[in-house]
Amino acid sequence: MHKPKRYRDLHAHIDELRRSGLLVDVDREIDKDSEMHPLVRWQFVGGMKEEERKAFLFSNVKDGNGRKFDIPVLVCGMAANRAIYATGMNCDLEDIPAMWDRAIANPIDPVEVDNPVCHEIVETGDILKERGHGVDALPIPVSTPGFDSAPTLTATNVITVDPDTGVQNMGTYRCALKAPERMVVRMATRVGGAGGYQHYLKHQARGDHEMPVAIVLGCPPYVAFMGPQKLPIGVDEYTVAGGLAGEAIEVTRAKTVDLLVPAQAEIVIEGFIDTTQVEPEGPFGESHGHVALEEFNMPMRVTAVTRRKDAVVPSYVSQVAPSESSVIKRVAYEPLFLRHLRDAMSIKCVKKVSLHEPLTGLLRVTVVTVEDDASSTEIWRALYGATYFKADCSKICIAVNDDIDVDSPDAILWAMSYRTNPSKDIQTLEHRGMGHGPKREKEGEEDSSLLIDATRKSPMPPLALPGREYMESAKNIWEELKLPRLMPQSPWHGYSLGAWHEVWDTAAARAAAGDYIENGRISLTQRQPGLKPETKVDPETGGPEQG
């Protein structure tokens, strides 16, 4: 007898979000076509901190024609912020990289089960063509009202199988609704692109007119996170999800295609992708932050829609970063970069790698944080290594010290302004292809990368802000006075950058305590004849600085 699963399905994940105060339940009627995504989008563009963002569960959904749906919609339920992502991973945020490492190193094969909840309701045959049935029964939101041409599935795990090896692949691809029994799927076709597209090419080469496909909505979180994660082509994502869960993931045979789907999925859309012709799809607001214009993509003939009786439709907020999709990718990608630099390339001075999120969408600006005493050679090895690690990332790659807040563009510009000699500390690399973006490379078109060493090359005077203890004390007074809520922007206090001495610490403490007279008495004893004004003082001797 099969033992009960321990990992959470989407329903249990929603319950945990609610218990943790990370979910907003919306009972008010909401139009999925014009109101839903704009409402949730406000938490990304309304000046809220990341930790204030929430998942939204809509239980009273209608479409633009006033038609009501009895299926709730979960938006931002997987990664409105990193705390929600960590809830899905059932661990603390700092433990996520290690969890991925262990899962990839210790995969667990899935186990096949019968009578799964994803088959509690099954539609096949002619009923799929009727309005209100097939995919038309699902409350799929319009992601970018005003620009998108169709409701589009975004929170997908799209399953295909390699016709040569029999190994399944699972990717997150958008799927536009065209009719109750028809969609158009967009898979990445660029070099190094989607595993599903590689299967598509193999089916074409074999002369197959169709490719079987299953589009899964609402997988258990461990499985859902497989779609956006970048695993090597040929790795069965179910085995890695099992490694995350510490037990076999339950799967079941689809009804009309020979594919294994997650048994605890909310909804499964089965069918066949036509390999002989393509159909216009889009426009659609893409994760690179621009609207993808209309392109020809892969038509899909729907042969079955199965679901739980109490199904929930998940939907990602993507488009301009920050967004739910950028949080998912950032949490997954940054540890990959760090492992590559520190482990594969043995650059031990690298402390972290950060992918800039707002507007640039992670793919354009990479910031490498290095130790203060890192050698120039190792800094440049890190810049080159990060730039070439992923073909569609690091158009601009910047090295900084760990006093720089990598999430503050102002702090990064500050480092570049005072720590960079453009003639020595900036290089460009040609022959780069940037891939995913509004100017996706065409045949023969190339891009380039900009590398910047913005680390300290020598000691510098402290940042001219009050010391931390004084700023913290003043903040307490601010709050006591009930002044407007503060949102501290790093750096918010002064600190040493190397060119500082304990003598000056002592003098500063006297001044802050109101004893400037003593400092004046000391400086009087250090008067010097015949020196040019602005000659620097040597704090060790009290005399002029030599050299």
The pLDDT tens digits for 352-370 are 999 987 777 777 899 999 9
Handedness of CA 381, 386, 388, 394 (dihedral sign): negative
- Verify cis geometry, omega within 30 degrees of 0, for the bond prior to 283: yes
Q: CA-CA distance, 481 to 460, in Å (whole number)?
A: 36
pLDDT of residue 192: 57
For the ranges 32-41, 356-365, 489-498, the lowest mean pLDDT is seen at 356-365
Helix (H) or strand (E) holding 505: helix 502-512
The residue among 443 and 341 whose pLDDT is bigger is 341
Q: How many residues can be counted in the chain?
A: 547
- Residue 102 three-state SS: helix
281 and 292 Cβ atoms separated by less than 8 Å: no
Of 293, 355, 287, 292, the closest CA to residue 321 belongs to: 287
How many CA atoms does the CB half-sphere of 415 hold within 13 Å?
Answer: 27
Paired sense of beta strands 55-58 and 23-26, if any: parallel
- 147-201 pLDDT, tens digit per residue, is 999 999 999 999 999 999 999 999 899 999 999 999 999 998 765 567 899 999 9
Instruction: Tell me the percentage of the chain whose pLDDT exceeds 90.
Output: 68
- Average pLDDT over the chain, rounded to an integer: 90
pLDDT tens-place string over residues 67-103? 999 999 999 999 999 999 999 999 998 888 888 888 8
436 pLDDT tier (thresholds 50, 70, 90): low
Contacts of 368 (CB under 8 A, 6+ apart): 341, 350, 352, 353, 354, 382, 383, 386, 397, 398, 399, 400
What's residue 546's pLDDT? 86
In whole angstroms, what is the distance from residue 208 CA to residue 157 CA? 23
Q: What single-letter DSSP state applies at residue 178?
A: E
What's the pLDDT band for 441 if we cut at 50, 70, 90? Answer: very low
CB within 8 Å of 472: residues ≥ 6 apart: 493
**Average pLDDT score over residue span 20-44:** 94
Question: In the Cβ-directed half-sphere of 112, how many Cα atoms lie within 13 Å?
Answer: 5
In angstroms, the CA 321 to CA 205 distance is 38
Among 129, 126, 145, which residue's Cα sits nearest to residue 137? 129
As a dihedral over the C-alpha atoms of residue 107, residue 113, residue 115, residue 116, rounded to 10 degrees, the angle is 0
The average pLDDT across 507-535 equals 92
Contacts of 170 (CB under 8 A, 6+ apart): 157, 158, 159, 223, 226, 227, 237, 238
Percent of the chain predicted with pLDDT > 70:
95
Helix intervals (H) in 351-439: 376-389, 409-419, 422-425
Choice among 150-159, 247-256, 270-279, 441-450 with the minimum mean pLDDT: 441-450
Q: At which residue do the structure tokens 């995919």 appear?
A: 135
Given this model, what pLDDT does residue 332 score?
78
Residue 435 confidence (pLDDT): 59
Residue 465: pLDDT band with limits 50, 70, 90: confident
Task: Tell me the pLDDT tens digit for each residue of 210-261.
Answer: 999 999 999 999 999 987 677 766 778 899 999 999 999 999 999 999 999 9
How wide is the angle at C-alpha 500 spanned by C-alphas 499 and 506, nearest 5°?
175
DSSP letter (8 states) at residue 127 = G
Rounded to the nearest 5°, which phi and psi values hold at 258? -85, 70
Reported as a single tens digit per residue, the pLDDT across 98-136 is 888 888 889 999 999 999 999 999 999 999 999 999 999
Eight-class DSSP state of 231? P
Q: Which domains are delineated in the chain? A: 98-315 (2.30.110.10), 345-453 (3.40.1670.10), 501-547 (no CATH)
Q: What is the pTM of this model?
A: 0.83
Buried/exposed code over 165-202 (b: 16+ C-beta within 10 A; e: otherwise): eeebbbbbbbbbbbebbbbbbbbbeeeebbbbbbbbeb
Could you give the C-alpha distances from 9 to 117, 156, 169, in angstroms and in order?
A: 11, 15, 20
Average pLDDT in the 489-502 region?
Answer: 88
Task: Give the per-residue pLDDT at 324.
Answer: 81
d(CA 123, CA 304): 6
Q: Would you place residue 293 in the very low, low, confident or very high pLDDT band (cuts 50, 70, 90)?
A: confident
